[in-house]
Amino acid sequence: MRLYSKEHVWVLATETKARVGISEFAQKELGDIAYIELPAAGSRVARGEAVCAVDSLKSSSEIFTPLSGIVAATNPVLLKDEGLKLVNEDPLGEGWILELEMSDPSELSLLLSEKEYGSYIEGN
């Protein structure tokens, strides 16, 4: 089940790992993404901390990690300029940004369900 943060980041979690990316809403707001500064694998991150930066044709934005943990991997496709189109075309799938080894899986309870997230973005 996909969960969301109020900072427009999604999470797909297993027991110990979480795949993270930006929501379709965030992608539409940003426009075509031209560059992503990815974190280094092995980096320790805390929930709410800026984990990477995204530059689009419209603006620059930081992506805030919805969970605490260690960056286990980044999407290798995003290292190539042509790979960035996946974030634009498939932000909820192949355009994922990173995977975390969660240090506190209970933080998942702080995230929004898809329905709650839909209500949240409609209210903003």
Please determine, for residue 73, whether its predicted confidence score (pLDDT) is greater than 70: yes
* Confidence at residue 83, expressed as pLDDT on a 0 to 100 scale: 82
Give residue 111's pLDDT: 98
Question: Which domains, from first to last, does the chain contain?
Answer: 2-123 (2.40.50.100)
For residue 88, which amino acid is it?
Answer: N
**DSSP assignments along the chain, one per residue:** -EEE-TTSEEEEE-SSEEEEEE-HHHHHHH-SEEEEEPPPTT-EE-TTSEEEEEEESS-EEEEE-SS-EEEEEE-GGGGSGGGGHHHHH-TTTTT--EEEEES-GGGGGGSBPHHHHHHHHHH-
To the nearest whole percent, how much of the chain has pLDDT over 70?
Answer: 99
What is the mean predicted confidence (pLDDT) over 119-123? Answer: 94
How confident is residue 124, by pLDDT bands cut at 50, 70 and 90? low
**pTM value?**
0.93
